Structure 1
Amino acid sequence: MQKDQLFTRRRMLLAGVAALGAAGTAGVVLAQGGEETAGTAAAPVAGPQARQALKPSAFRLQPLTGDGPPRAAPRRLKVRKEPIMRVSTSGRHMVLTFDDGPNPAYTPHILDTLAKHDVRAMFFVCGECVVQNKELLARMADEGHVVGNHTWTHPLLTELNRREIRSEMESTSDAIEDAYGERPQWFRAPYGAWNRAAFQLGAEMGMEPMAWTVDTTDWMEPGTRTIIDRVEGGAAPGVVVLSHDAGGDRSQTVRAIREWLPYLIDSGYRLTVPRRRV
């Protein structure tokens, strides 16, 4: 399938499953501080504005070679029934996430803006894009960003069988490890369309399911001002913001983040990433 056809299909599917994604994530609000509950994830760690001094390269692990030790089995997690859509926080913390990339036309500009403001984010990447842009995954690792699994071809998981879902997820984790230096610990279902198999397989592969709280709707290309207003209007402690760095023309996203990111920082928000498990 050609990429322009794939993007058109994604747009149609997004319109059809938006309600499904909202229903699937409704009510999964993480506790504010304190101990984790059945619906919570590990507390976030502050972004570079407050993190301990650490060279960027220290975030990256070298990929295993063919002559290296065998890959360790991923830590099995408890199977969730709903994805995480907020982070547990007792302060003004938010998480920025970008889906569908990497894309050489847009991702570098977003990374430049994040670097300018010393902010880390999460990138949920598609395997078919990773293999063509490994250098961008390497840069994400070097700059301390968290990379998550967004499947290989961005399919609607509810239309696939268990074997097909596993293939989409495993092949993407393999590609991420090859380019990023470690296997992903987070997973996001395309279109926000989750099913039981995705939750089970993600847990088997050591990945937590993450959704979002605020959708910028940049996938609709609504205009730079609309994207800015959605982020600034939706800002609140614990919020997870959904944007895209691929899957279509993301020039509006690139322009918008240059305005709403400094606004969030000036408003006292700390942009965080989830704490890594050890």
Structure 2
Amino acid sequence: MFRSGSGGRRGTAAAVLAAVSLALTLAGCGVDRVTPQEARGAKGAQADSGKGSGRVDCTKVKCIALTFDAGPGKDTPRLLNILKEKQVPATFFLLGENHVVRYPEVVKRMAAEGHEIANHTWTHRILTELDKDQVREELSRTQDAIEKLTGRKPTLMRPPQGRTDDSVSEVSKELGLAQILWTVTAKDYSTTDSALIRQRVLDQASGDGIILLHDIYDGTVPAVPSIIDELKRRGFTFVTVPELLAPGKAEPGVLYGPEKD
């Protein structure tokens, strides 16, 4: 599992995220995906009732979603300061154990400042290696912990390493959770070089993109201001994941992400 201390941040990179570099190839294997464009154009889609609905029309502007996994951590308050200064909303996929329970005031602040709070499981176990009851526990414990702090259960989740299957999808649907993948990964678990993290993001950024970063690694938060500034210069508008999908609404159990190669 992830831990918030400096040794934990580095040690878990090898133990938990060693295969993440393959995730875009392997993520969601066997499960159909819905792209943001398809979600927005879905027949009969209803307007998203989540916070921020109607703020941005991603059919008319070039949108990109900034997302952070596996926090909160010690650097998350600094990140929130940056996002507030830059007036950028983000989507945070939170870990329960040692993160939500360790930084409750940070979670409350995320909600108060209008960010989308989502579920990244309790201990970062690979869900495709678990039975349904174990998957349910990984997700429901984090659902309950976040609801206790914010008054609202998440409607989005990101499976660790992007690995999902039909069983994970069934449990996600039961719990009211849509599954969200990504289009951009900086592999920030593998480097503390903020300039490299920045360049990796900028090289992959495109319209309707979903950027994956981690606010628990030392090089990530320092890279965020220049990432935001450059993407704004290129004409991008930052949105939360629900805003990216609007007027469609993320449906429980459905997997959202890039088209398969």
Which bin holds the TM-score, normalised by the shorter protein? Answer: 0.7 to 0.9
* Residue 31 of structure 1: aligned partner: 37
Shifted more, 154-163 versus 268-277: the winner is 268-277
Contact 1:94-1:270 at 8 Å conserved across structures: yes
1:51 shift after superposition: 3.4
Shift of 1:203: 1.1
- Which residue of the partner structure matches residue 257 of structure 2? none
Q: Secondary structure at the match of 1:154?
A: coil
Partner of 1:141 in structure 2?
111
Q: AA paired with 1:98?
A: F
Q: 2:199 corresponds to which residue?
A: 229
Distance 1:41 1:98 in 2: 27
Deviation at 1:45, TM superposition (A): 9.0
Residue 71 (structure 1) aligns with: none
Unaligned runs of 5+ in 2: 251-261
Q: Deviations over 1:208-247 (max 9, x none)?
A: 100100001111125111111111112211000000012x
Return closer, same or farther for 1:114/1:41 CA change in 2, 3 Å cut-off: farther
Give distance in 1, aligned partners of 2:100 and 2:51.
27
Find the residue that maps to 2:211 and give its secondary structure.
Answer: strand
**Structure 1 residue runs of 4+, over 6 Å off?**
40-48
Between 226-235 and 27-36, report the one with greater CA deviation.
Answer: 27-36
Gaps of 5+ in 1: 53-86
Identity value in percent: 32
SS of equivalent residue, structure 2 residue 107: helix
Q: What residue number does 1:61 align with?
A: none
The residue number in structure 2 matching 1:258 is: 225
Return the structure number with greater relative CO, CA threshold 8 A, min gap 6: 2
Partners in 1 of 2:70 and 2:183 — Cα distance? Answer: 18
Instruction: Name the stretch that deviates more: 256-265 or 93-102.
Output: 256-265
1:228/1:99 CA distance change after superposition, 3 Å: same
Q: Secondary structure at the match of 2:238?
A: strand
User: Aligned with 2:208: secondary structure?
Assistant: coil
Give the letter for the 1:217 counterpart: K
Deviation at 1:28, TM superposition (A): 4.8
Aligned residue in 1 for 2:253? none
* Structure 1 equivalent of residue 211 of structure 2: 241
Larger radius of gyration: 1
Instruction: Give the TM-score normalised by the residue count of structure 1.
Output: 0.75
**Count of residue correspondences:** 238
Range that drifts further, 216-225 or 26-35: 26-35
Contact 1:157 1:194 in 2 (8 A): yes
**Alpha carbons of structure 1 residues 238 and 42: separation in structure 2 relative to 1, 3 Å:** farther
CA–CA separation in structure 1 for the residues paired with 2:234 and 2:187:
22
Q: Is residue 2:25 matched to residue 1:22? A: yes
CA distance in 1 between partners of 2:49 and 2:233 (Å): 20
2:27/2:161 contact within 8 Å kept: no
Task: From 88, 92, 112, give the equivalent of 2:81.
Answer: 112
Q: TM-score, normalised by structure 2?
A: 0.80
- Give the 5 Å matches for 1:149-188: 149-188=119-158
Kept after mapping to 1: 8 A contact 2:51/2:114: no
C-alpha change, 1:18 and 1:44, in structure 2 (3 Å) is farther
Equivalent in 136, 157, 164 of residue 194 of structure 1: 164
